[in-house]
Structure 1
Amino acid sequence: MRVRTFRDKNMARILARIKSEMGPDAVILSNQTVRENGQCLCEIMAAVESVEEAPKTAAREKVLTIPAAPAKGNGARNRPAAARPETDPMADMILPGAASGDGWRREWDEIRDHMMALLKPGLKFDRLEPRQRLALQYLEREGVEDAVLLTLFRSLTDCGERTVLPALSRMVGIKPLPSDSWGQRVHVLVGPSGAGKTTAVLRLALARKRQHPNTPVTVAALWDGSTGSAMLKRYAELSGITFRSVTSPEEFRTLWESLGPSGWAFAEMPCLRGEESMDQRLRALGMAGHPGVAVHLALSPICATAQLRSFAARYRASAPGSIVWTKLDEACNFGTLINVAHAVDLPVSALSHGPELNRNLTTATATDVWKLIFKHQFPGETARDSQPGRGTKQSATTAKSAA
């Protein structure tokens, strides 16, 4: 097998180069965005089976940076090479934000769906026990993606597990927030506008204050004095919680020193603008690389999985973190929690729902997450009589028992 890596600003040029130099049978192994000489480049690793075994030296990976081509008219644009059905359906061929537009993502998503449609009839579901098949069918109705279901199927058949929960637990990690399982004491919530960051910051601060009433708890607004920070300040004052504004490294050092040996702070970061990255924001505030800082994604399952993956790629930072799920009461199903956790490899830390400010955020536990997914039961509530668009309480309870 020959493996080569190509880099270029333009995705179309890379795909055309792969097709011309490696042939139509080339398979895309990975796709990522890298920085080289201060420029963002798309990097694609491709492989093709050799007719004859190549020497060992030829098997080494080569990185080819494609020079920029002169501008051409729309009629001369390169088109992507068509993927073959043999392509690995688990390969994330186009990462969110790596393509030049939404059209590329839609095209590759469609190709992936076609490949999964070809693979699914070949899966030997008769190898599973009836309760296992029932659980997988329920997860499929809940919106769990085919690639995730395929991973579950392989885990059940390869490991001999009788239920799906052990395999799901390997996909969906749990790390409760706020709790002492976190060594960091400054917790920054990031995410798109409207994700519920302000409410989640206040709820987390109130939860920490209830757990440890004698230790300092602070809420902070980062980066600018936006309208959201004014609301955060007002609610903090009404709740008896200290508020600080952090717009520079000096103000962050002041915040850190004010916490003392045991205090915690929960901060809201406004949404990014233009080509900003979260690491750039953190460096500007003197928070990047600080051992006491964790960065958490505030996401809501009312968005599609593809959109949430795009948000996660844009707002992910080089710091410990998790996912805080918000606006759970506005979602009709919760398979997205599994899809996103599997895609971004971040644990679930907190579950937030309802309009009330106080006591509507729960530190995540495995039991709460599985009840939410399989029974649509929010933490602290009894099972509802029915699920929107999902039938009766009895069917949900059957799926939960099967899991």
Structure 2
Amino acid sequence: MRLVPVLTAILVTAVLYLSVFQRDRLLGFARGAEVGAEAAEAAATEAPATEPDGSTESEGAGAVGVVVVRSQARTIDSAVLLRGETRAVRQVQVRAETTGAVISEPLRKGAFVEPGDVLCKLDPGTREASLAQARAALAEARTRVPEAEARLQEAKAMLEEAQINYNAASKLNAGGYTAETTLLARAAGVRGAEAAIASAEAGVEASRSGIEAAQATVAAAEREISRLTITAPFEGLLESDAAELGSLMQPGSLCAEVIQLDPIKVVGYVPETQVARVALGAMAQARLATGEEVVGKVTFLSRSADPTTRTFEVEITVPNPDLTIRDGQTASIGISADGALAHRVPQSALTLNNEGTLGVRVVLPGDVVGFQPVELLRDTVDGVWLGGLPEQADIIVVGQDFVTAGVQVAPSYREVTQ
């Protein structure tokens, strides 16, 4: 009665061991049986296939049948492919720096402007009068300087005279010919003259400071008047209408938006895995959503990655003399890079190993399966171009999902489709 539960436990333990610890061998055995059955059925109706080394499928009895492509690496132009958009080389919103009503007729969007063309002209108001008053104050301040300098020279002459009188009184006092009070009076005269000089010098400095203050007032008034005329900073097109006649402008109010499209930039973002393949000055081609293809050079490559996407901004400058390329168009970008050896295989040949590494399964000497990690260089309608393989590789293209590394196979070779 107790023998049945024991046998059941042993059977369950064996099944669990095979399904957990011997999963790969179990799957290989099961898949090998299926493929072997198909191969046996095909062998009943077809003659044995002859291999490049003279062997036949019958010699690989018991091995898993797979289809293999003997691929030879070729050099391809491994351009860096990106998605991006066109961007104006310059774009600025021209704004007012002072207050005033617009007194000029507005330019309409789409108009072409040159540097210095008037976009908005504001009412001067009383600014001209303020400038005239500042200039008058400057002229008056300039006349005060000669007067102050004349007073300084007069004070210096008085000091010399007081010094002479003091010296004479000092000698007479030493000989007993003059009173002590006279000597003290002459000394006080010297000190008074020195104070007069200090006052005159202060007057000169004040006059000169007055000139500088008046000059600053004049410059501020002239600067305020210059702000009344808002001009185009560079050559370009108006992306918006200029401010309407009679509208009141405040500091920061928008006058017009100017955009420069010649040349134009095509901006994309390079993954950090490919940024080392992009160099300044490299030729690049962009295909716009309209189908138009343009050619330019890489003029900027960011040194700092975007913190969110971990990509690096790259700019390609493209001539646009006829202004047919617009700002914000979607573009497919290809940046030329050094060529690389690659194999073209069907996309279905790609597989993953147990660690999740992308690669292909290859046939090694002795018809044993091996796994080779690869790098996906380009994806086309005819297949994928892979790097990381030797120059010649026997790649399994049919049956690779039914075998694992180390499994014996019976390969059937076919030619590479060019």
Normalising by structure 1, what TM-score? 0.24
The answer to which structure has the higher helix fraction is 1
Asked which structure has the greater RCO (Cα within 8 Å, sep 6+), the reply is 2
The answer to which structure has the higher strand fraction is 2
